[in-house]
Amino acid sequence: MFAATRSVVFVALLSALALAAPVKRFDNARYTYYDAGKNACGSTDSNTDYVIALSPEFYNNGANCWRSVTVQYNGKQVQARATDECPGCSGDQVDLSRPLFAALAPLDKGVLYGQWWYNN
């Protein structure tokens, strides 16, 4: 009985540590915007969707399709979904759909620098 209880406590402790693991944030990431439509993940985004296009490195041949992300700029945080690849982006640079960019700043800014991270 003691061994079973100890095992349950150990599993609970490991679960708590996994949840407390730091989230990898990409700071000072360059944001531009694009017109959403047919995406690299195999579906079509509407012109109202909050989606991002990842650099080829992060797109990783589709391995990060559909991942939930948080995009932050100037104190504003918005949830989005990674659905596309940005061939002209490098590293942690991402393209934001027009409505996502507009939720953070006016489109006439053109380029923003902020933080983003995967939610899962």
What pTM was computed for the model? Answer: 0.80
pLDDT of 112 strictly over 80: yes
CA distances from 14 to 3, 24, 69, 70, 103 (A): 16, 19, 25, 25, 38
Lowest mean pLDDT among 13-17, 89-93, 105-109: 13-17
Report yes or no: 52 and 69 within 8 Å, Cβ to Cβ. Answer: yes
Per-residue confidence (pLDDT) for residue 63, from 0 to 100: 97
SS3 56: helix
Contacts (Cβ under 8 Å, ≥6 apart) of 25: 115, 116, 117
Please give the domain boundaries of the chain with CATH numbers for all domains: 24-118 (2.40.40.10)
- Could you tell me the end-to-end alpha-carbon distance of the chain, in angstroms, rounded to an integer? 35
Over residues 17-56, the pLDDT tens digits come to 445 556 789 999 999 999 999 999 999 999 999 999 999 9
Per-residue confidence (pLDDT) for residue 105, from 0 to 100: 98
